[in-house]
Structure 1
Amino acid sequence: MIERGSPVPSVRVKLVGADGATDTTSDAVLGTGLVVFFAVPGAFTPTCHVNHLPGFIANEAKLRAAGVDRIVCAAANDHHVMKAWAEASGALGKIDFIADGNAEFAEALGLAKDMSGSGMGKRFARSAMLIRNGVVDAVFVEDAPGVNASGAPAILMALEAARS
C-alpha cells in the first residue's frame, strides 16, 4: 500500500469533470497543489452514494478554505458511469472524478480489493489521501464497513491538525 512520502504513481486514467472525460494520467491529475483524493468501491453503490461522496460535496467550501486546491474521487467504474454519478449527485464542477475501469490505478496504489464474491470484481478499498504536489502526505484506509477515517470530516480534522 502506498505510504506517506511516496510519489503518486503514473497510471493511465480517464478524468471526468465539468468539461467531459479526457485521457490523462493519475500523476497529472493529482500532481499539483494540495489535493484531497478519496476512493470508493463503486459509483452509485449504497455507502458510496449516500455516505461518502455527499460529505465531500457538503464540505467542499470548508476544504477549499483549508487550502485544498482540488478534490478528486476515484472508483473502478468506466467514465460513462462516473459522469452519470457526478451529474446525479450534484458533484460535477465541484469534485473531479477518476474513472479507473480496470482497477489499474487501485492496483498501483496497493488499494485494490477483490470484491468478486459479491459480483463486483476488483475495486478500490474505501480510502482517502492528502497529496501535496504529487507526494502523499497522509493515507486513510477504512478497516471496517462504513465511512469514518476516509470521510470529509476526518480529512478536515487532518488538515486542521497539519496546520497546528
Structure 2
Amino acid sequence: MTQFVSRVISVARRQSLNYFGRQGFHLSSKNMVIAVGDQLPAIDLYEDAPSNKVNIAEVAAGQKIIIFGVPGAFTPGCSKTHLPGYITRAEELKEKGISSIFCVSINDPFVMAAWGKHQGADGKVRMLADTNGDFTKALDVEVDLAVLGGTRSKRYSMVVDNGTIKELNIEPDNTGLSCSLADRINA
C-alpha cells in the first residue's frame, strides 16, 4: 500500500510541476524519488557556460543514455572513483548502445567544465551543471550536506531509453560508492 501511495504522490507531483512550473505548487515526500518507468523531467542543465543550456529530456529523446549524479565536483569519492569509472568504461558502454553519458552535479558550469577537463572526460562523459538544483529536486534526490555548502545531490546512476528511466541506482546512504558505479550499470 505504501508503494502505491508513493506512486500516486509521485504522479501528482510531476503533474503539478508540469501545470504550475518550478515556481508553483510542489508535493514532496522525504523518501520519494523518481522510479523506473518514469519519464525524465524536462529541465535545463548547463554545459561549459551559463549560455549553453542542455534540456536533458530533449537530449534523451530517441536515445539511450546514462546519467549519474554526484554530490560535488572535485570531491574525493567523485574524483577518485565515480567519474573515473565512467570515463574508463565510456567506450564499452557506447558499444552496448549508450549514446551519451552525463555527469550531473549541483555546481556552476565553469566548475563542471574544469573538473571534466582535469579528469579527461572530453568526448567520454558530458559534464552538466544543475546550477540551482532544479533537476536534482525534480528527481527528489537532494540531500543536505553542510560540509559541501548545503543542498547537493545524492549519488545515483540511471539508464534512460527514449526519455524513460529503465534502470535506477541510488546509493542507500546517499553518498556511498556501491550501486551507482559504472561497473554496476546494465546497459
TM-score range, shorter chain: 0.7 to 0.9
CA deviation digits over 1:43-74, x for unaligned, max 9? 10010000100000111111011111110110
Q: Identify unmatched segments of 5+ residues in structure 1.
A: 160-164
Query: How many residues align structurally?
Result: 154
Distance 2:48 2:110 in 1: 9
Amino acid at match of 1:6: D
Cα distance change, pair 21–146 in 1 and its aligned pair in 2 (3 A): farther
Query: Which residue in 1 is equivalent to 2:162?
Result: 133
**Which structure shows the higher strand fraction?**
1
Q: Distance in 2 between matches of 1:119 and 1:83?
A: 19
TM-score (norm 1): 0.88
Q: Does the alignment pair 1:49 with 2:79?
A: yes
Q: Which runs of 4+ in 1 moved over 6 A?
A: none
For the structure 1 residues 153 and 21, does the alpha-carbon distance in structure 2 shift closer, same or farther, using more than 3 Å as the test? farther
Q: Normalising by structure 2, report the TM-score.
A: 0.77
Q: Tell me the alpha carbon deviations over residues 134-162 of structure 1, each in whole angstroms, 9 at most, x when there is no partner.
A: 1110110011343110001001xx23xxx
Alignment partners' CA distance in 2, 1:71 and 1:131 = 10
1:10 matched to 2:42? The reply is yes
| Aligned position for 2:135 | 105
What is the alpha-carbon distance in structure 2 between the residues aligned to residue 24 and residue 64 of structure 1?
Answer: 20
State how far apart, in whole Å, the 2-side matches of 1:73 and 1:89 are.
Answer: 12
Identity of aligned residues (%): 32
**Aligned pairs for 1:33-44 within 5 A:** 33-44=63-74
Amino acid corresponding to residue 56 of structure 2 in structure 1: S
Aligned partners of 2:47 and 2:113 also within 8 Å? no
Q: Secondary structure at the match of 1:59?
A: helix
What SS is found at the alignment partner of 1:64?
A: helix
Mapped pair 1:152 → 2:182: yes
